[in-house]
Amino acid sequence: MIKSVIFDLDNTLIDFMTMKKLSCDAAIYSMIDAGLNVKKEKAVKELFSLYDKYGLEEKTIFQKFLKKITKKVDYEILASGIVAYRRVRTGFLEPYPHVGEVLFELKRRGIKLAIVSDAPRLKAWIRLVSMKINHLFDVVVTFDDTKEFKPSIKPFEVALKKLKFKPGECLVVGDRPERDIKGAKKLGMLTCFAKYGNPKGKGAKADYEIDDIKELLEIVE
C-alpha cells in the first residue's frame, strides 16, 4: 500500500526548463538593449553552455557569461539582465496542469506528500510558495540537507526517515530516470517516470510511467 508520494520539483511539478529558457531570453534581450554587443542566438548558446558546465542553479552565471563574451563585467548590463530574468521567472512560476487538484486529492486520501529536490533550500521553497502549494507537503528535502545530488540515496534516506515509512510504502515521481528513478530504486522504493516533464528521458526503468500527473490517482488507489 502506498502511504506517501515523493515528488521531484523541477520539471515534475513545475515546467522548469521552459521558465529557464524564457527568463534567459528576456535577460539576453535586456543586456543587448543595455549595450551588450552580441547576437542573440550566439548569446543563448554561450549562456547555456555555461549552465551545462556550472549547473542550472549557478548564482553568478551572468557574471561568468559577461566575462566570457566581453572579458569584463559591466554592472549596468549585468543588472539589466538580472532584473529582466527575475521578472519573467517570477511571472512564470506556475505548476503543470492538474498539479493542484492531484495534490489536494492525495492529501484527502491520507497520503503523505514530500519533495526531494536537487535545488538549494531557499530556491525550492520560493518555487513552492510562488505556486501556492507549499502547505501541502509534509516533508521537503533539498540539496542543502545532504549536500549530495540524486541519484545518491542520501536525499531519499532523509525523506524516509522524516516520513517514518518503509521504502516499499513510498512512490517516487520524477522526470529524470538517471537521477530520480535510479536513486529511489537503490532503496527499493516504488518509482514513477513523469514523462510529461521529459519526453526523451532515458535511464533506469520505472515501475510506472505517466503522461499527465492525474494518472497518479489511479496508481495509488
User: What are φ and ψ of residue 193, in 5° steps?
Assistant: -85, 115
pTM here? 0.87
What are the angstrom distances between the C-alpha of 62 and each of 5, 24, 74, 136?
Answer: 36, 10, 11, 34
Question: Domains plus CATH for the chain?
Answer: 4-14+96-219 (3.40.50.1000), 17-92 (1.10.150.520)
Strand order in the sheet with 112-116: 139-141, 112-116, 4-7, 170-174, 190-194, 208-210
Cα four-point dihedral sign 96, 116, 160, 153: positive
204, pLDDT greater than 80: no
Residue 10 has pLDDT above 90, yes or no: yes
Mean pLDDT of 209-214: 97
d(CA 137, CA 164): 15
Q: What is the pLDDT of residues 125-144, one digit of tens each?
A: 999 998 999 999 999 999 99
Which cell numbers in the block locate residue 58?
Answer: 549557478
